[in-house]
Amino acid sequence: MDRRLQLHELLLTFCPNVYFQPPDSMTMVYPAIRYYQDDEDALFASNRPYRRQKRYQVTVIDRKPDSDIPEKVADLPLCSFDRIYVADNLNHTVFNLYF
């Protein structure tokens, strides 16, 4: 199975509404997890990449400021907290996740 699909299935265990690169026209249902690939790390040998790891920006969006979903995402391996902000009365918790 594709690694991104594995990540999607994993995030579904935390929240029933998971969106990969949703278009602006899409209406999301909250609480939600929105994610997209924003970087890739490569290790090189002999001037060629021999291992690549994709980084995803994962945003937990919830009306509740004390939601337990961000804690579940934060516990994932190779996950680091980025920031928190509020927009449109929704709490956004952003993580960077190598998967």
Q: To the nearest 10°, the Cα dihedral for 24, 13, 7, 55?
A: 70
Amino acid at 18: V
Residue range(s) defining the domain that contains residue 74 = 3-98
**Model pLDDT for residues 2-37, shown as the tens digit of each residue:** 999 999 999 999 999 999 999 989 999 999 999 999
Give the CA dihedral 14, 76, 42, 34, nearest 10 degrees. Answer: 30
Query: In whole angstroms, what separates CA 73 from the centre of its chain?
Result: 8
What is the pLDDT averaged over residues 74-83?
98
Q: Quote the number of domains for the chain.
A: 1
pLDDT at 78 over 80: yes
pLDDT, tens digit, for every residue of 30-59?
999 999 999 988 878 888 888 888 999 999
Q: Kindly report the CATH number assigned to the domain that includes residue 86.
A: 3.30.2000.10
DSSP state, 26? P
Instruction: Report pLDDT for 50.
Output: 80
Q: Are 12 and 67 in contact (CB under 8 A)?
A: no
Is the pLDDT reported for residue 1 higher than 80? no
